Structure 1
Amino acid sequence: MHVAFFVDQVFWREGPVLSTEESFILFPASFAGFVDQITFIGREAPTPGRAPYVLDGSTFSLCALPFYPNLYKLWRADPRMYRRIRESVREQSKNWDVLVICGPHPIGQLVARMCIAQGIPVVLMVRQNLIEQMSAHRGLERHAAMLAAHLLEWDFKRLARDRTVFAVGEEMTKVYSRFCNRAHNHFPCLVDRAQFEMFSQMSAGSDPRRLIKVCRLAPEKGHRFLFEAMAQLNQRGLHCHVDLVGTGAMDQELRELASKLGVASQVTFHGYVPYGRPLFDLYEKAGAMVLSSTTEGFPQVINEALSIGLPTVATTVGGIPSFLTDGETALLVPPRDVRALAGAIEKMVRAPELRERLRRNGRALMQDNILEVNRARVLGGVHDEIARRRA
């Protein structure tokens, strides 16, 4: 079976080796050994190089799309780019048995319609609530982003009719269940069995006041609410420290905000930290993981935290509340609720028996949701969609 995956990622070439900088690629790449060939449909970097996540081997190939930095630049791109995309897809899709499209995405939906016209089965994967994600933007950019998001999601739902859909989280699964009768709740866990065993040998730090947050420095990640919660905790005499791992356009703005709120000395901006021992060392120093996002799909760092036994405080967005149980596998709070976030952090810091329960239950939950389990679910849906179309 030859599976094509549309992923809105940039790929680098170094000789015959493909690589990318986004960890999600590890999930579709894990299909190697269960299918004959995997073609990724994505942007090719304008210069040779190697990114952190390497796809080495004859199983993988790239249907290269013209490079564009991001979706905002895509709207202003040369119209001839779409013709080049169609030509590339038309040539390579002759060999595809099925297309899995991660969306909503304008190029992905163009590719999907081309495949449908050729009789190629199409499976949809909804990784996040796009409208919620775009609502985090500000100013005039927000209005344009929201309009585009509504149009794309409306079109993606049209594509979903009478097709198999894997949606991250119960909320998005219910939304797409109105348009098809094969919508599945999906958690794209990247922690495989070997990694789970490795993480299980690690342990959280001894100081619960030392927090860690791993994500992009972007508006929808809700750093502001965490800083405000830390300022509230200071007033109660509870001083926490957060290791902030990630890069993004808000770096300087967040530094200034931390200073304004009086928590600058309690925040360490680590920037980009490579996956592996440098990141794991920070995990083992931390007493808890905190995620204060206003929108999410399902963050991979939660899977890593649960596997390590790192108590987690998270917001009830995306797939998080349908995977985690408040008080049992994590502490969950509403998004944008500073008081609730501060209260959850204080509760976790002051209750060692609660932290131990979260550690124990989190690891047990992960045992039943490692990569191999989720891969089997998606592969089953892909095979069923192919068989149904052939019938």
Structure 2
Amino acid sequence: MRVVVTTESRFIRTPDGRVWTPTPPDHRFWQRYLSVFDQVRVVARVQDQHEVPAGLLRVDGEAVEVHAVPHYVGPWQYLRRSRHVRRAVEASAGPDDAVILRVPSVLGSALRSARVRHGLPFALEVVGDPWDVFAEGVVQHPLRPLLRRRITERLRQECRTAAAVSYVTEEHLQTRYPTAPGVPVAAVSSVDLPDDAFVTRPRQVVRAAGVAPTVVTVGTLEQMYKGVDTLIEAVALLGDDGVHVRLVHVGQGRYRSRLERLARERGVADRVTFAGWVGPGEPLRERLDRADLFVMPSRTEGLPRALIEAMARGLPAVGTRVGGIPELLTADDTVAPDDPSAMATAIARMLDEPARMSAASARNLTRARQFSRETLIPRRTAFYQSVKDAMGEQRPNATGPLSERPVDAASRTGR
């Protein structure tokens, strides 16, 4: 059986038909579905380019193909291309395919509508929370309040009508977006770290006199939901109190210039480094290993991979009480979002107590090991099997355009 999976990732396609991405999910990520299914079709926005920029990762490959959806960025471009987008999405899956929608997602919701219309089942992987994503201060858009209500209710409806649902959190998303009674449910993170992602032992922290500690954070700057502005404000407040730290941000996006300007305005530009994109694996681990403290100041999260990767390096961490972060860190290591003063206090308390940092290192490393491939692969495989079983049980003799229309060769290759 083939599984069709939607994603909000945006990919690049070269003239030879190959598909690429600057960051995961790449081919290795999509291979996880092959533990149960014979083929994987990834439904995603694809932009054609003549050359592959340096450092990109291959998406398609053995048993994994990409079904291209017209590329767009933002709601206005989507509205202009919505008819073509919906048509491409509906053509991505036939009645004999299993369908897993990674939601919340515009593409996922479009395919879900087509499946419901033709009486076909679908499963979900819930990877984020639109109620938090569209909270005030997270996304700047005139329709934000309306989008928040509509997309949140849509996700609730999707969870109530799905044949099987997996959540990346252990409790948070399940509580807000419950399923119908009797539906197969799993709590399985999208993160599964290889053995070399983990350090062998926790840190024994000893503060060197006269050396400013390094605080590191990782996340996209395409939107402001990672809360990097809050962290810059906290660094400035720490400096006002005589606590000088160096902040390194790893990641890129359109709001970088705005954040650089904020650092200058707050007088901490010489203490804030924007490292840009750093490759996954060893390059990122080296950055983490050089830091003293990891901070995740997000305004919204599912279950953050960056935080888990930092914990696997034995890094003490401070984060906000949003999404799945409280499932990873203790209450003493979390603060409310959008509160620079509370964040500064939490950072200062952690850095001021080497014994506390050592204890946090040990605790974080132990917790991160619960996200090893060895631990998660059996749970994820069991969920995929439940999806396959549910698809077989719930698939009716569908009628209408979706079941009658064969998927042509161009759609199969995404070309």
| Fold equivalence (TM over 0.5) | yes
Separation (CA, whole Å) in 2 of partners of 1:6 and 1:367: 28
Separation (CA, whole Å) in 1 of partners of 2:143 and 2:181: 29
1:288 partner letter = L
| 1:278 to partner: Cα distance | 3.4
Separation (CA, whole Å) in 2 of partners of 1:204 and 1:76: 56
For the residue of structure 2 that corresponds to 1:191, the secondary structure is coil
Query: Which of 296, 300, 308 is the matching residue for 1:295?
Result: 300
Q: Could you tell me which residue of structure 1 aligns to residue 270 of structure 2? A: 265
Q: Could you tell me which residue of structure 2 aligns to residue 167 of structure 1? A: 167
Instruction: Note the 1:47-66 alignment, pairs <5 A.
Output: 47-50=49-52, 52-55=56-59, 57-66=61-70
| 1:389 to partner: Cα distance | 4.6
Q: Could you tell me which residue of structure 2 aligns to residue 153 of structure 1? A: 152
Separation (CA, whole Å) in 1 of partners of 2:168 and 2:250: 24
1:144 partner letter = L
Conserved in 2, the CA contact under 8 Å of 1:293 and 1:317?
Answer: yes
The 10-residue stretch of structure 1 (284-293 or 61-70) with the greater mean CA deviation from structure 2? 61-70
Is residue 305 of structure 1 aligned with residue 313 of structure 2? no
Conserved in 2, the CA contact under 8 Å of 1:99 and 1:120?
Answer: no
For the residue of structure 2 that corresponds to 1:368, the secondary structure is helix
For the residue of structure 1 that corresponds to 2:233, the secondary structure is helix
The 10-residue stretch of structure 1 (256-265 or 63-72) with the greater mean CA deviation from structure 2? 63-72
| 1:116 to partner: Cα distance | 4.2
Is residue 144 of structure 1 aligned with residue 143 of structure 2? yes
Conserved in 2, the CA contact under 8 Å of 1:2 and 1:38?
Answer: yes
Is residue 282 of structure 1 aligned with residue 287 of structure 2? yes
2:178 partner letter = S
Conserved in 1, the CA contact under 8 Å of 2:19 and 2:59?
Answer: yes
| 1:277 to partner: Cα distance | 3.8
Query: Which of 256, 261, 264 is the matching residue for 2:261?
Result: 256
TM-score, normalization: structure 2? 0.82
CA RMSD between the two structures: 2.8
Separation (CA, whole Å) in 2 of partners of 1:61 and 1:118: 24
> Cα distance 1:281–1:136, how it changes in 2: closer, same or farther (>3 A)?
farther
Separation (CA, whole Å) in 2 of partners of 1:288 and 1:204: 13
Separation (CA, whole Å) in 1 of partners of 2:122 and 2:384: 9
| 1:284 to partner: Cα distance | 1.8
The 10-residue stretch of structure 1 (180-189 or 335-344) with the greater mean CA deviation from structure 2? 180-189
For the residue of structure 1 that corresponds to 2:48, the secondary structure is coil
> Cα distance 1:22–1:157, how it changes in 2: closer, same or farther (>3 A)?
farther
Q: Could you tell me which residue of structure 2 aligns to residue 67 of structure 1? A: 71
> Cα distance 1:38–1:84, how it changes in 2: closer, same or farther (>3 A)?
closer
> Cα distance 1:94–1:16, how it changes in 2: closer, same or farther (>3 A)?
farther
TM-score, normalization: structure 1? 0.87
> Cα distance 1:315–1:37, how it changes in 2: closer, same or farther (>3 A)?
same
Separation (CA, whole Å) in 2 of partners of 1:372 and 1:24: 19
Instruction: Note the 1:1-391 alignment, pairs <5 A.
Output: 1-14=1-14, 15=16, 17-25=18-26, 26-50=28-52, 52-55=56-59, 57-77=61-81, 79-86=83-90, 88-89=91-92, 92-96=93-97, 98-118=98-118, 120-136=120-136, 141-163=140-162, 164-169=164-169, 170-177=171-178, 179=180, 182=183, 183-192=185-194, 194-197=195-198, 199-200=199-200, 209-217=213-221, 218-327=223-332, 331-391=333-393
> Cα distance 1:60–1:71, how it changes in 2: closer, same or farther (>3 A)?
farther
> Cα distance 1:280–1:389, how it changes in 2: closer, same or farther (>3 A)?
closer
> Cα distance 1:344–1:54, how it changes in 2: closer, same or farther (>3 A)?
same
Deviations 1:95-130 (A, max 9, x none): 52x111012223211212323455553111221111
Conserved in 1, the CA contact under 8 Å of 2:220 and 2:252?
Answer: yes
Unaligned runs of 5+ in 2: 394-415
Unaligned runs of 5+ in 1: none
Deviations 1:139-163 (A, max 9, x none): 9x53313312422232232222243
| 1:315 to partner: Cα distance | 0.6
Conserved in 2, the CA contact under 8 Å of 1:103 and 1:124?
Answer: yes
The structure whose RCO (Cα within 8 Å, separation 6+) is larger is 2
